[in-house]
Structure 1
Amino acid sequence: MSAEEVEVLVVGGGQAGLAMSEHLGAAGVRHLVLERHRIAERWRSERWDSLVANGPAWHDRFPGMEFPDVAPDAFPGKEQVAAYFEAYAEKIDAPIRTGVEVTSVTRHTGRPGFRAQTSAGTVDARFVVAATGPFQTPVIPPIVPDGAVDLQLHSSGYRNPAQLPDGAVVVVGAGSSGTQIADELRRAGREVHLSVGPHDRPPRQYRGRDFVWWLGVLGLWDAAAPPQGAEHVTIAVSGARGGHTVDFRNLAADGIHLVGRTSGFADGVLSFDGDLERNIAGGDANYLALLDAADDYVTRNGLDLPEEPAARDLGPVPPAATAALDLATAGVRTIIWATGFAADYRWLQVGGFDDNGRPRQRRGVSTEPGVYFLGLPWLSRRGSSFIWGVWHDAKHVADQILIQRGYHAYSKEDA
Structure 2
Amino acid sequence: MAVDRGEAERVEALVVGGGQAGVAASEHLSRFGVPHLVLERGRIAERWRSWRWDSLVANGPAWHDRFPGLDFPEYGPDDFVPKDRVADYFEAYAEKFAAPIRCGVEVTAVRRNAGRPGFRVETTAGPVEANYVIAATGPFQRPRVPAMVPETAGLLQMHSTGYRNPDQLPDGAVLVVGCGSSGTQIADELLRSGRRVYLSVGPHSRYPRRYRERDYCWWLGVLGRWDIEAPEPDTRHVTIAVSGAYGGHTIDFRRLAERGMTLVGRTAGYEDGTVRFAPDLADNLAAGDRSYRSELQQADDYVARNGLDLPAEPEAWEIPADPACVTDPVLALDLSAQGVTSIVWATGFDLDFSWLRVDAFDTAGKPAHRRGVSTEPGVYFLGLPWLSRRGSSFIWGVWHDAMYVAAHIATHRQYMAYRSGGEG
- Structure 1 length as normaliser, TM-score? 0.98
For the pair 1:97 / 2:99, whether they are aligned, the reply is no
Residue in 2 aligned with 1:399? 407
Q: Structure 1 stretch 320-329 or stretch 10-19: which is displaced more?
A: 320-329
Residue in 2 aligned with 1:113? 118
Please give the alpha-carbon distance, in whole angstroms, between the structure 2 residues aligned to 1:65 and 1:272: 46
Whichever residue aligns with residue 176 of structure 1, its letter is S
How far apart are residue 241 of structure 1 and its match?
0.6
Q: Which runs of 5+ in 1 are unaligned?
A: none
Whichever residue aligns with residue 354 of structure 1, its letter is D
Q: Is the Cα contact below 8 Å between 2:255 and 2:320 reproduced in 1?
A: no
For the pair 1:53 / 2:58, whether they are aligned, the reply is yes
Runs of 4+ in structure 1 deviating by more than 2 angstroms, as ranges, are: 315-318, 354-357
How far apart are residue 356 of structure 1 and its match?
3.4
Q: Is the Cα contact below 8 Å between 1:201 and 1:284 reproduced in 2?
A: yes
How far apart are residue 357 of structure 1 and its match?
2.3
Q: Is the Cα contact below 8 Å between 2:15 and 2:134 reproduced in 1?
A: yes
For the pair 1:21 / 2:26, whether they are aligned, the reply is yes
Q: Is the Cα contact below 8 Å between 2:281 and 2:329 reproduced in 1?
A: no
Q: Is the Cα contact below 8 Å between 1:280 and 1:317 reproduced in 2?
A: no
Please give the alpha-carbon distance, in whole angstroms, between the structure 1 residues aligned to 2:379 and 2:282: 44
Q: Is the Cα contact below 8 Å between 1:149 and 1:332 reproduced in 2?
A: no
Please give the alpha-carbon distance, in whole angstroms, between the structure 1 residues aligned to 2:80 and 2:168: 25
1:342-381 superposed matches below 5 A: 342-381=350-389
Residues 66 and 329 from structure 1, CA distance in 2 versus in 1: closer, same or farther, beyond 3 angstroms?
Answer: same
Q: Deviations over 1:313-355 (max 9, x none)?
A: 1122331540110111111110100000011001111112124
How far apart are residue 2 of structure 1 and its match?
2.3
For the pair 1:168 / 2:167, whether they are aligned, the reply is no
How far apart are residue 410 of structure 1 and its match?
1.6
Whichever residue aligns with residue 80 of structure 1, its letter is R
1:2-401 superposed matches below 5 A: 2-318=7-323, 319=326, 321-401=329-409
How far apart are residue 25 of structure 1 and its match?
0.2
Please give the alpha-carbon distance, in whole angstroms, between the structure 1 residues aligned to 2:387 and 2:308: 33
What percentage of aligned pairs have identical amino acids?
66
Whichever residue aligns with residue 144 of structure 1, its letter is V
Please give the alpha-carbon distance, in whole angstroms, between the structure 2 residues aligned to 1:151 and 1:353: 36
How far apart are residue 414 of structure 1 and its match?
7.3
Q: Structure 1 stretch 314-323 or stretch 128-137: which is displaced more?
A: 314-323
Q: Structure 1 stretch 275-284 or stretch 202-211: which is displaced more?
A: 275-284
How far apart are residue 123 of structure 1 and its match?
0.8
How far apart are residue 403 of structure 1 and its match?
2.1
Please give the alpha-carbon distance, in whole angstroms, between the structure 2 residues aligned to 1:117 and 1:277: 51
Q: Which runs of 5+ in 2 are unaligned?
A: 1-5
SS of 1:121's equivalent?
Answer: coil
Q: Is the Cα contact below 8 Å between 1:58 and 1:72 reproduced in 2?
A: yes
Whichever residue aligns with residue 351 of structure 2, its letter is A
Residues 148 and 356 from structure 1, CA distance in 2 versus in 1: closer, same or farther, beyond 3 angstroms?
Answer: farther
Whichever residue aligns with residue 396 of structure 2, its letter is W
Q: Deviations over 1:96-142 (max 9, x none)?
A: 00001111111101100001111111110000000000000000011
Aligned residue pairs, count: 415
Q: Structure 1 stretch 191-200 or stretch 395-404: which is displaced more?
A: 395-404
Please give the alpha-carbon distance, in whole angstroms, between the structure 2 residues aligned to 1:256 and 1:355: 42
How far apart are residue 358 of structure 1 and its match?
1.1
Please give the alpha-carbon distance, in whole angstroms, between the structure 2 residues aligned to 1:190 and 1:147: 24
Please give the alpha-carbon distance, in whole angstroms, between the structure 2 residues aligned to 1:191 and 1:321: 17
Whichever residue aligns with residue 328 of structure 1, its letter is S
